[in-house]
Amino acid sequence: MIRKTLLVAATAAALAQPAVAQDARIGLLFGISGAISAMSPTMVEAARLAIEQVNAQGGILGGRTLVPVLGDSGCNPQNATDAASKAVNIDRVLAIVGPSCSGAVLAAANSVTVPAGVTIVSPSSTSPQVTKLADKDLVFRTVPSDAYQGAALARALLARGVRTVAVTYLANDYGTGLGESFKAEFEAHGGKLAAYQAHDGAKASYRSELSRLARSGADTLVIFDYGDGTGLTILRQALENGFFRNFVGADGMKSEAMIRAIGAKNLGTLLVSAPVGAGDAALEIFRRDFTARGGNPDGIFATTSYDAAFLLALAIEHAGGDRSKIAASLRAVATAPGEPVLPGEWAKAKKLIAEGRDIDYKGAAGDHEFDAHGDVPGTYALFRIAGDTFEAVTRME
């Protein structure tokens, strides 16, 4: 029985080998099933956009096709390590975009990608634990750590004259991280938190929580949650019951699902923050390209996913396809100085790399100047809803 099993397994694995090994493969590990399954399709599509642009503009490593290998990290360590192991060992990917969730990143990095020497770039893992990871410089993120966005949002609100708020945050690492960094910065600069509480992500009704929050007297509610999930429920129930006048959220709340479900005209007092590039051009190009492909550029982590994939493609090209050199190449192509390369400019970048010139990718979600830990500082903008979509109001310092 055991022998039969192993025979079947070996055969299956053998059959799973691709017929041709002439393509360059890149792993896409996203949380397709699990806690963030609602967000994953857009993230996957954004990453695929980058790969399609690469292939349409001449291919990679001398005309080869860049092939995405999709894996499901399930937002838990068991699935993530398994998917990473397959991507690294069976598909022999050169690098990996993902995983999406911080716990998955920690596990996959610790047990598979770091020992195997494969570079990974996560577009959505925001936990500070990833910063402290002993990762031989193989783990990067295109999304800034929570610590930045919460603090930046606090400063932005204070700058707009908002001195008292109530905060409710989702009890997971995303919401908690934002909540803590927001609280620290807001109070440090003279703001007052009239209420600060966590909420569970699995409920259908939050009216009792909202009532408690509203009793604090603040007229602005800061919601650290996902607009594709219970953030939507909370916002809707707050609006319907007349709790709070103004609403603020972080990038998780910058979701089209809210506009669709609640209606743009009801969301006039909503402000959300999201990471952006230093200039507006990169974001505009991405929006245009992604919309043309049928995607939603305002989707959560769409920009960071795109950037992660495009950056890795650039790094692979720069490193000549050598797995061990990709991390160093990633730093080279992402950080200044260098000739600026914007989203979609693959042909231009290829030419520059071939000529041996230094390039500096300016992404849709930021300039991605990786620090020593592979983290990026955040530059953010505040958005509000205009028409049927989000428009930037101001940059946040």
Partner 1 sequence: MDLYEFINFHLIPGLLLGSIYALGAIGVTLVFGILRFAHLAHGDMLTLGAFLALGVAGLTGLDPWFALPVAMALTAGAALLIDATCYDYLRERPRILTVMASLGVALMVRAVVQMGWGTDPTTYATGIVRPTEYLGWFLLRDRELMTFAAVIVLVAVLEAFLRLTRWGRAMRAMSDNPDLARLCGVDNRQVIRLTWVIVGMLCAAAGFLLGINTEVWAMMGWWALLPIFAAAILGGVGRIDGAVLGGLVIGLAEELSVLVVPAQYKSATAFVILLLVLLFRPRGILKGKVL
Partner 2 sequence: MDALGLLNYALFILILAGIYGLMALGLNVQWGLTGLFNAGIAGFFAIGAYASAILTGPAVAGRVGGFALPVPAGWLAAMALAALLAWPIGRVCLRLRSDYLAIATIGVAEIIRLTIRSEDWLTGGVRGIAGVPRPFGDLPYLTAQLAYLALVLAVVVVAYRMMERQLHSPWGRMMRAIRDNEAAAAAMGKHVERRRLEAFVLGSALMGLAGALFAHLNRSITPDAIDPMIVTFLVWIMLILGGSGNNRGALLGALVIWLIWSLSELATDRLPTEVAIQAKYARMFLIGLALQLVLRFRPDGLLPEARRTRPRTQDHP
Give the interface with partner 2 as residue ranges (CB under 8 A).
1-2, 5, 9, 12-14, 16-17, 32-35, 40-41, 44, 48, 68-72, 74-79, 81-83, 85-86, 88-92, 101-104, 106-107, 110-112, 115-117, 127-129, 132-133, 171-173, 176-177, 198, 200
As given in the structure block, the two tokens for residue 210 are 């909202």
Query: Torsions phi, psi of 121, nearest 5?
Result: -130, 115
The residue among 205 and 291 lying less far from partner 1, judged by its C-beta, is 205
Applying the rule CB under 8 A, the residues between 141 and 170 that interact with partner 1 are: 168
Dist. CA 297–CA 287, nearest whole Å: 5
Minimum CB–partner distance for residue 248 and partner 1 (Å): 18
Alpha-carbon separation of residue 242 from 211, 221, 226, 247 (angstroms): 10, 12, 21, 12
Residues 41 and 228 sit within 8 Å (Cβ to Cβ)? no
Cβ(380)–Cβ(275) below 8 Å:
yes
Nearer to partner 1, 200 or 280 (CB): 200
Instruction: Kindly indicate which of the ranges 122-130, 255-263, 278-286, 300-308 contains the residues binding partner 1, using the contact rule CB under 8 A.
Output: 255-263
* Single-letter code of the amino acid located at 148: Y
Q: Which stretch binds partner 1 (CB under 8 A): 101-109, 226-234, 287-295, 307-315?
A: 226-234
Q: Does 262 bind partner 1 (CB under 8 A)?
A: yes
Strands of the 119-122 sheet, one edge to the other: 66-72, 24-30, 95-97, 119-122, 139-141
Residue 197 touches partner 1, criterion: CB under 8 A: yes
Does 384 contact partner 1 by CB under 8 A?
no
Answer yes or no: are the C-beta atoms of 73 and 96 closer than 8 Å.
no
Where does this chain touch partner 1 (CB under 8 A) — which range of 15-23, 179-187, 207-215, 367-375? 207-215
Judged by beta carbon distances under 5 to 8 A according to partner kind, the member of partner 1, partner 2, none in contact with residue 320 is none
- Comparison of 46 and 276: residue with beta carbon closer to partner 2: 46
Q: DSSP H helical segments within the chain, as ranges? A: 2-15, 40-56, 77-85, 102-108, 114-116, 128-131, 146-159, 173-188, 207-214, 230-241, 256-262, 281-292, 302-318, 326-334, 346-354
Residue 264: CB minimum distance to partner 1, A: 10
